[in-house]
């Protein structure tokens, strides 16, 4: 009986799933990583592990290695003999550097995919909209205002950037109302609220309303409760940095979400300031996308012979990889654009997407009719016009879309005419594509800056005409 | 990638793998406001917002909340700090009440 080896083998095989979960349950949802039921564990560990291993096999293993199923059967068997185990371990030892590198690589990629998956779910509020994807830290949704995005709950969570709390607490026989801004909260291991920290706290006795009312009645003044509250504020401030409340001492919590904004009529628009951290982050991710294309393309062209297919035929193959690339680009840029502009122009996005698809079909037919090509180039052809058009459209409307769909088509045609049968110049071809990508990103940036300058000066001229 | 530094990458990685369920629920905008103006000013704005009354279909901000705190045309609390710099504080959902005007 070698239960230990069986367990160890399963653990090693499931390691990508553990890393995926570690990436997925990070940040404010990290406690959920340690506490899950069987169904969730299967959902978020075994399934990702299987998918990642299939992808790992497709991308890394199948070109140079073969999987020895006999070794697996020995390691997963509880009745393997000592001789069989020695044989299995000897085989593993012989290929240890490759096996070790493979697991390190896919575990790292699993962690990254976990983070990306979480980012997609969080950025698009999928966890708020679909209960099955919701994290267990329910208080996070309440305190951040994301609960307003739940179905049937009115309100806009984007506006809710602060939570102001009224707590009813009992001290001895007296009940008090405390009010203040939520600073922090702690959860227990069971995801229950353990404590709350408020700052800028005021408090009063719960029955103070009644006392004021009685006082006003006796003096013959108005018995308007609202007026009583305003004219004789029964709250008094508690001095200190913040105050911590144990959850079991709190009877009720009233939450009000506030949106605080700074308006500067005469300030240069934020997007003109290159040091704007949001833009920096957006451009960093944009460039990361291009670097990904460069590495992926270089690997793809070197590793995969032109006639090799991942799926059934070159059309399905190209379209699948293209769709994945589009999803990747849109997912990493969508939120940045939203942050930089405050909103996504949905019409522009749709226009860019449809225009990009038509442009891609156009390029695709040129490619298909005129010359042989390699799959990655076809992927770029299909991906670029759509992705660039839709990104530009979501930020700048349909005019931006047209501009970038045309640029995308131009790059695609460039890719098309640089294709030859050999792969000796792969590096320089990919380098050329990357440089063009960088130029596009800069063109995009320049477009934003020019547009903002126009709006800025338009406002200035308008203001000067009406006397501001 | 001019602004990218090793420190930023490390900080991001640390944030991603951190093990706590802590969260600072104060938004960056509010934090900046508190740093510049003090939290008592923020509380003052909150109290002003809570003191808005509706009389004859019009929103009114009672006296006693001076210090350049007023209501704008949409019934949102505005604090004019100086010159052209001003802040607005709005209760989420407060603009969902229809047909209310602001008393000037």
**Domain chopping of chain A, boundaries:** 3-123, 161-258, 270-465
Whether residue A143 lies within 8 A of chain B, CB to CB, comes out as: yes
- Per-residue pLDDT, A199: 83
Whether residue B23 and residue A143 make contact (CB cut-off 8 A), yes or no, is yes
- Per-residue pLDDT, B4: 47
Smallest Cβ–Cβ distance between B88 and the set A23, A183, A263 belongs to A263
Smallest Cβ–Cβ distance between B30 and the set A30, A162, A230 belongs to A162
Whether residue B104 lies within 8 A of chain A, CB to CB, comes out as: no
ipTM surpassing 0.85, yes or no?
Answer: no
Which residues of chain A make contact with B93, given a CB cutoff of 8 A? 154-155, 257
Residue range A217-224: mean pLDDT, rounded: 45
Residue A411 and residue A419 in contact, taking contact as beta carbons nearer than 8 Å = no
Taking 50 as the threshold, does the pLDDT of residue A227 lie above it?
no
DSSP letter at A28?
A: G
Most confident of A4-8, A177-181, B89-93: A177-181
Nearest-angstrom CA–CA distance, A72 and A57: 15
Smallest Cβ–Cβ distance between A264 and the set B49, B84, B89 belongs to B84
pLDDT averaged over chain A? 69
Judge whether B16 lies within some domain. Answer: no
More confident residue, A373 or B61: B61
Residue B101, Cα to own-chain centre: how many angstroms?
22
Nearest to A146 by CA among B92, B55, B54, B40: B92
Taking 50 as the threshold, does the pLDDT of residue A346 lie above it?
yes
Judge whether B48 lies within some domain. Answer: yes
**Closest residue, chain B, to A257 (C-alpha):** B92
Whether residue B21 lies within 8 A of chain A, CB to CB, comes out as: yes
Instruction: Render pLDDT for A102-143 as a digit per residue (tens, 0 to 9).
Output: 888 889 888 888 887 887 787 777 888 788 888 877 888 888
Least confident of A135-139, A433-437, B1-5, B52-56: B1-5
Whether residue B16 and residue A26 make contact (CB cut-off 8 A), yes or no, is yes
Residue A225 and residue A208 in contact, taking contact as beta carbons nearer than 8 Å = no
Nearest to B21 by CA among A42, A143, A159: A143
**Closest residue, chain A, to B27 (C-alpha):** A161
What range defines the domain where residue B60 resides?
38-104
Whether residue B85 and residue A144 make contact (CB cut-off 8 A), yes or no, is no
In this prediction, residue A370 has a pLDDT band, given cuts at 50, 70 and 90, of very low
**Closest residue, chain A, to B17 (C-alpha):** A26
Max CA pair span of chain A: 101
Which residues of chain B make contact with A187, given a CB cutoff of 8 A? 21
Whether residue B79 lies within 8 A of chain A, CB to CB, comes out as: no
Whether residue A226 and residue B24 make contact (CB cut-off 8 A), yes or no, is no
In this prediction, residue A174 has a pLDDT band, given cuts at 50, 70 and 90, of confident
A236 strand-pairing partners: A203
In this prediction, residue A84 has a pLDDT band, given cuts at 50, 70 and 90, of confident
- Per-residue pLDDT, A348: 61
More confident residue, A413 or A422: A413
- Per-residue pLDDT, B8: 61
Which residues of chain A make contact with B20, given a CB cutoff of 8 A? 30
Instruction: Kindly report the nearest CA distance between residue A84 and chain B, in angstroms.
Output: 40
Nearest-angstrom CA–CA distance, A397 and A405: 12
Most confident of A129-143, A259-273, A350-364: A129-143
Nearest to A28 by CA among B20, B17, B13, B15: B20
Taking 80 as the threshold, does the pLDDT of residue A179 lie above it?
yes
Q: Tally the domains of chain B.
A: 1
Taking 80 as the threshold, does the pLDDT of residue A208 lie above it?
no
Judge whether B10 lies within some domain. Answer: no
Nearest-angstrom CA–CA distance, A215 and A209: 10
Best mutation target, A27, A241, A265, A289, to test chain B (most B CBs within 10 A): A27
Smallest Cβ–Cβ distance between B30 and the set A115, A156, A260 belongs to A260
Task: State the Cα torsion B40-B42-B44-B47 to the nearest 10°.
Answer: -130
Whether residue B55 lies within 8 A of chain A, CB to CB, comes out as: no
Which residues of chain A make contact with B15, given a CB cutoff of 8 A? 27
Instruction: Kindly report the nearest CA distance between residue A160 and chain B, in angstroms.
Output: 6
Nearest-angstrom CA–CA distance, A293 and A376: 10
Instruction: Kindly report the nearest CA distance between residue B102 and chain A, in angstroms.
Output: 19
Nearest-angstrom CA–CA distance, A142 and B48: 24
Whether residue A189 lies within 8 A of chain B, CB to CB, comes out as: no
Residue A341 and residue A398 in contact, taking contact as beta carbons nearer than 8 Å = no
Residue A243, both tokens:
């105050």
pLDDT averaged over chain B? 70
Whether residue B30 and residue A185 make contact (CB cut-off 8 A), yes or no, is no
More confident residue, A386 or A172: A172
In this prediction, residue A222 has a pLDDT band, given cuts at 50, 70 and 90, of very low
Residue range A78-91: mean pLDDT, rounded: 84
- Per-residue pLDDT, B20: 45
Instruction: Render pLDDT for B1-44 as a digit per residue (tens, 0 to 9).
Output: 344 456 665 665 565 555 444 455 677 778 888 888 887 888 88
- Per-residue pLDDT, A433: 59
Whether residue A7 lies within 8 A of chain B, CB to CB, comes out as: no
- Per-residue pLDDT, A380: 62
Whether residue B35 lies within 8 A of chain A, CB to CB, comes out as: no
Residue A165, both tokens:
């709390």
Nearest-angstrom CA–CA distance, B2 and B6: 12
Whether residue B85 and residue A258 make contact (CB cut-off 8 A), yes or no, is no
Which residues of chain B make contact with A258, given a CB cutoff of 8 A? 46, 49, 89-92
- Per-residue pLDDT, B38: 82
Residue A164 and residue A180 in contact, taking contact as beta carbons nearer than 8 Å = yes
Contacts 24+ apart (CB under 8 A), B88-91: B88/A259, B88/A260, B88/A261, B88/A263, B89/A258, B89/A259, B89/A260, B89/A261, B89/B45, B89/B46, B89/B48, B89/B49, B90/A159, B90/A258, B90/A259, B90/A261, B90/B49, B91/A256, B91/A257, B91/A258, B91/A259, B91/B49
Least confident of A109-118, A292-301, A428-437, B15-24: B15-24
A329 strand-pairing partners: none
- Per-residue pLDDT, A302: 57
Residue range A80-99: mean pLDDT, rounded: 85
Looking at chain A, the whole-number percentage of residues with pLDDT higher than 70 is 47
What Cα–Cα distance (Å) separates residue A117 from each residue in A123, A147, A172, A220, A330? 10, 21, 49, 65, 13
Most confident of A49-53, A121-125, A322-326, B85-89: A49-53
């Amino acid at each position: 009986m070698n239960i230990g080896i069986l367990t160890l083998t399963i653990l090693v095989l499931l390691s990508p799933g553990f890393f995926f979960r570690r990436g997925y349950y990070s940040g404010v949802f990290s406690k959920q990583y340690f506490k899950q039921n069987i169904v969730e564990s299967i959902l978020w560990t075994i399934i990702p592990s299987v998918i990642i291993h299939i992808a790992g096999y497709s991308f890394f293993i199948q070109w140079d290695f073969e999987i020895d199923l006999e070794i697996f059967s020995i390691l997963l068997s509880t009745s393997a003999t000592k001789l069989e185990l020695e044989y299995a371990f000897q085989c593993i030892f012989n290929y240890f550097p490759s096996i070790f590198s493979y697991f390190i690589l896919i575990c790292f990629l699993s962690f990254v995919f976990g983070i990306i998956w979480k980012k997609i779910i969080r950025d698009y509020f999928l966890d708020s909209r679909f209960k099955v994807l919701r994290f267990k830290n329910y208080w996070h949704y309440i305190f951040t205002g994301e609960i307003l995005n739940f179905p049937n709950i009115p309100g806009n969570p984007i506006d809710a950037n602060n939570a102001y709390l009224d707590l009813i607490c009992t001290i001895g026989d007296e009940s008090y109302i405390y009010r203040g801004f939520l600073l922090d909260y702690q959860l227990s291991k069971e995801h229950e609220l353990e404590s709350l920290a408020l700052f800028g706290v005021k408090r009063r006795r719960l029955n103070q309303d009644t006392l004021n009312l009685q006082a006003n009645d006796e003096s013959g003044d108005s018995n308007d409760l609202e007026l009583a509250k305003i004219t004789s504020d029964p709250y008094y401030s508690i001095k200190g940095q913040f105050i911590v409340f144990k959850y079991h001492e709190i009877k009720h919590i009233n939450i009000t979400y506030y949106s605080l904004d700074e308006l500067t009529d005469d300030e240069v628009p934020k997007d003109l300031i290159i040091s704007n951290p949001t833009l920096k982050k957006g451009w960093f991710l944009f460039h990361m996308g291009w670097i990904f294309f460069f590495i992926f393309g270089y690997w793809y062209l070197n590793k995969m012979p032109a006639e090799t297919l991942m799926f059934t035929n070159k059309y399905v193959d190209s379209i699948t990889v293209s769709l994945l690339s589009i999803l990747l680009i849109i997912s990493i840029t969508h939120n940045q654009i939203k942050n930089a502009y405050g909103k996504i122009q949905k019409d522009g996005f749709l226009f860019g997407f449809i225009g990009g698809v038509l442009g891609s079909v156009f390029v695709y037919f040129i490619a298909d009719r005129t010359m042989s090509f390699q799959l990655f180039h076809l992927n770029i052809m299909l991906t670029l016009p759509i992705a660039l058009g839709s990104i530009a459209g979501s930020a700048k409307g349909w005019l931006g879309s047209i501009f970038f769909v045309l640029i995308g088509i131009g790059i695609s045609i460039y890719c098309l005419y640089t294709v030859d049968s050999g792969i000796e110049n792969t590096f320089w071809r990919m380098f050329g594509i990357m440089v063009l990508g960088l130029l596009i990103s800069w063109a995009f940036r320049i477009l934003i800056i020019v547009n903002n300058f126009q709006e800025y000066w338009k406002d200035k001229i308008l203001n000067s005409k009406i006397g501001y | 990638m001019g602004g990218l530094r090793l420190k930023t990458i490390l900080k991001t990685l640390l944030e991603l793998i951190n093990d706590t369920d802590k969260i600072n629920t104060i938004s960056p905008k509010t934090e900046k406001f508190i740093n510049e103006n003090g939290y008592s000013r923020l509380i003052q704005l909150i109290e002003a917002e809570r003191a808005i009354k509706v009389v004859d279909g019009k929103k009114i901000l009672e006296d006693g909340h001076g210090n350049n705190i007023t209501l704008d045309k949409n019934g949102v609390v505005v604090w004019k700090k100086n010159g052209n710099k001003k802040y607005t504080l709005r209760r989420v959902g407060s603009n969902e009440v229809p047909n209310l005007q602001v008393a000037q």
